[in-house]
Every structure is written in C-alpha cells, then in structure tokens.
Amino acid sequence: MNPGDAAYTTAAVQQYLDELAGIPGDSPAAPIIRGLLARAVGRLHMVCATWLHRRYRRLASPPLNLQTEELLGAVVERLMKAMEQARPQTVRQFFALVNQHIRWELNDLARRLDERVPDVEFVDGFAAAPNSSDSPLTPNARRMLEAIDDLPEDEREVFSLVRIQGMTHPEAASVLGVSVRTVQRRLNRSIVILEEKLQDLRPQAELLGGA
C-alpha cells in the first residue's frame, strides 16, 4: 500500500465515522458500519495477516489452520457488534478498536487450543521460549503481552500501529495526527521501556556482547 492509498483510506474512513456520529440514537447504524468496514477491508485484511503470520503463526498451522480470510470475517463480525455501542469518532480511535478486537479474537482462539500461542517476538532480540504443541501459554509470552499492554498510551498506540499492524511511520503519523518524528520518538521510547522490562529474556549471547 503506497502513501496515497493510505491517505485515501484514512479520508474515506473518517467520512464514514462522521456520518456515523451524526445518526440519532434511535436510527439504524448497521448500513453505515457495513460501508465503513467494506471501505477499510484492504487495510483490515493486511492487519489480520500481519497479526496471524507474524505474531500468532501457530494458529495458521495444524490443527487449526487458520486463514487470514477466516480471521478477517470473525473480526468484521466483532466490529459490527462493537460499533453499535462504541462509536469511534476518529480514524485513530477506529484503528485502536480494530487492533483490540483482532487481539481478542486471536487470544480467544489460542485459549481454545489449550492456550497455545506461537513463538512471539514483539521486540527485536526478545522471544518467548518455544513451547511444545500441548504446552500452555509460556510465562515469557504472558510477560511480553502484559508489558505491551502496560506501555503508556501514546507509546502503546504507536508500537501497535507500526510493529504489529505494519504501518509505515508516515501512515501511523497520518492516523495519529502527529509528525513522523513524533512517531519515531514514541516508537523508540516504547522499545526502551520493553527492553528494560524484558531484558532477562534476551539470548545469553547477546547479553554477553555476542551476535
């Protein structure tokens, strides 16, 4: 996706959100929500693929063999229900809601598989210890997820958009309404915080100055 496409999607999503905000409380919102999700489906598909194949790879393998399209369908269903109550007013709030429901859907699927999740690597150099096909969610994986959730809001938002959803720095800056430099600063800050909290998970060779 090039910057022009991202800008067009952002503008179109905001137009739908403005229309949604203007609907009286007793009027049906489903048609507008469906239109919004249809317009953003390309971005949603990319985000789902990023989460599934970079963060939850094991769910794409047997026995579940989860496909991106299946995850997308489940997330769209979640968003249809959620947006009847939670009405994001900005593109920034919309993508935060998307990110939240993708995580919830994947975590629910993982728990159904005896809480199995893939080897995750949210920060360069940090990875949860591999677990066997029948082992529960590793303590290291839990620590990583909790550490990300505990980031300050601005840093967590940038980290999610760039490192998890796969947006470029200019795209994230457009969504958040900040400069590219601000995105870079918040991303760097989030990594520093995670490094401090998860430093004991670094491979021993790296701790000793190895490769």
Q: What is the pLDDT of residues 153-188, one digit of tens each?
A: 999 889 888 887 777 899 888 888 899 999 999 999
Domain count, the chain: 1
Give the residue numbers spanning the domain of 109.
Answer: 3-207
Residue-averaged pLDDT of the chain: 79
94 and 88 Cβ atoms separated by less than 8 Å: yes
Q: Is the pLDDT of residue 97 over 80?
A: yes
Element (H, E) at 146: helix 139-149
Q: Tell me the pLDDT band of 139, cut-offs 50, 70 and 90.
A: low
Range with the lowest mean pLDDT among 25-29, 43-47, 134-138, 147-151? 134-138
- Determine the pLDDT at residue 208: 27
Model-level pTM? 0.64
Task: For residues 24 and 51, give the distance between their C-alpha atoms in angstroms, rounded to a whole number.
Answer: 35
66 and 43 Cβ atoms separated by less than 8 Å: no
Q: Tell me the pLDDT band of 5, cut-offs 50, 70 and 90.
A: low
More confident residue, 4 or 202: 202
Task: For residues 78 and 100, give the distance between their C-alpha atoms in angstroms, rounded to a whole number.
Answer: 10
- Determine the pLDDT at residue 112: 79
